[in-house]
Amino acid sequence: MKKLGFGLMRLPLLSEFDRASVDLEVTIKMADHFIEQGFTYFDTAYMYHLGNSETVFKKAVAERYPRDAFTIADKMPVWLVKESGDYQKYFDEQFGRCGVDYFDYYLLHNLGGNAYTDTLKCGGFEFIKGIKAAGKARRIGFSFHDSAELLDRILTEQNDVDFVQLQINYIDWDNEGIQSRKCHEVAVKHRMPIIVMEPVKGGSLASIPEDAEKIFNGYNSAASAASWAIRFAASLENVFVVLSGMSTTGQVADNVGYMRDFKPFNSDERALVEQVAALINKNTAIPCTACAYCTEDCPQNIAIPQYFSLYNNQKQFGLTPSQTVYYNNLAAGGHGKASDCVACKQCEEHCPQHIEVAERLKEIAAVFEKS
């Protein structure tokens, strides 16, 4: 199997303010090109695009290709599970939404924080072992956004899972909040096959500052910034798939171009990435990946990832009129402003990057809500 996977969490939208409004026509073009070029792996989850990622996968792929032409991974929304019977309920719903009768890979979604102990209490691991034994999932594992210490505990206690999905990218490699390197080392120690998520850090490593870009271009001017990020992850020990959350046909064309005949990093390329990581890390204010996990329970409907992205952008490039227009449009379009935050911190419980959202929103209000 080729090492590039198509992440179905950032699909093209018909309305930028409606995450459910996936553009099926463009998604079909993207999926067709991906498959034509010899790639097979698609990754979805119950909550991506407010449930529409799974149904769009069904329409774009499952209903249009024979079952052996694609590989599908899906994830159990463990935070919605209140009792053991809920696992079967969500799983059956996912089968219907995806239009398949088995998943190639099935994951417990985001076992960080209290999710691991809650999953133990409700019998989540017994459930996924049961669906594997019944032939409804070929391989089982979990995705993870927490410390290397907790990962070590889980892999020690659950040593019969088949793989683990980790957030790894060159910017977070030595970040103490994310612990990409430490988590990778733990998975390798447990001889666990690894799927990488967020290799381009929510798209932010596809568009890097000019001085960082110059470093890459000096070595290979034809390679995109995203290619460096994806090849970094794909070159790591035990990694068998790297997911890219693609949003345009151009991104698919670029990614399949260099991943069709994947060549791992040489030592010069690895050194250049370390140099660029140091340069970018000096300037990124808020390490948000735009996963939007934080937004679901916000009582003020604050557009947290969008505001963080605007804030990072103004930190990198200075405050521009278009950033302010974008901010005001979000607020006018039904979202709370940064200053509407009531500091309930429900968002922070869901944030895999451990960002102090309420505190950071104060800084954002100070920048974008100056009269």
CA 58 and chain centroid, separation: 20
Check: CB of residue 61 under 8 Å from CB of residue 98: no
Q: Does 294 bind ligand SF4 (CB under 6 A)?
A: yes
How many residues touch ligand SF4 (CB under 6 A)? 28
Query: Binding segment for ligand SF4 among 66-74, 133-141, 160-168, 357-365 (CB under 6 A)?
Result: 357-365
Q: Does 290 bind ligand SF4 (CB under 6 A)?
A: yes
* Token pair recorded at residue 219: 């070595």
Measured CA to CA, the distance from residue 184 to residue 12 in angstroms comes to 31
Contact pick of 143, 227, 247, 353 for ligand SF4 (by CB under 6 A): 353
Contact pick of 288, 303, 310, 364 for ligand SF4 (by CB under 6 A): 288
Contact pick of 305, 310, 326, 364 for ligand SF4 (by CB under 6 A): 305
Binding to ligand SF4, residues 312-341 (CB under 6 A): 341
Helix (H, G, I), strand (E, B) or coil at 168: coil
Q: Does 302 bind ligand SF4 (CB under 6 A)?
A: yes
Phi, psi of 256 (to 5 degrees): -70, -25
Q: Does 248 bind ligand SF4 (CB under 6 A)?
A: no
Q: How far is the CB of 160 from ligand SF4 (least distance, A)?
A: 30
Contact pick of 344, 356, 359, 362 for ligand SF4 (by CB under 6 A): 344
Give me the long-range contacts of 30-33 (CB less than 8 A, separation at least 24).
Answer: 30/6, 30/246, 30/248, 30/249, 30/252, 31/6, 31/60, 31/61, 33/249, 33/252, 33/253, 33/256
Q: Does 299 bind ligand SF4 (CB under 6 A)?
A: yes
Contact pick of 14, 69, 325, 342 for ligand SF4 (by CB under 6 A): 342
Q: How far is the CB of 326 from ligand SF4 (least distance, A)?
A: 16
Q: Which runs of consecutive H residues, i.e. helices, occur in the chain?
A: 24-36, 52-57, 85-98, 115-122, 124-133, 148-157, 180-189, 210-219, 225-234, 249-259, 267-281, 304-317, 321-332, 346-350, 357-368
Residue 342, CB-side half-sphere exposure with 13 Å CA sphere: 8
What x/- string results for residues 12 through 41 when contact with ligand SF4 is judged by CB under 6 A?
A: ------------------------------
Binding region for ligand SF4 (CB under 6 A) = 288-294, 298-300, 302, 304-305, 308, 341-347, 350-351, 353, 355, 357-358, 361
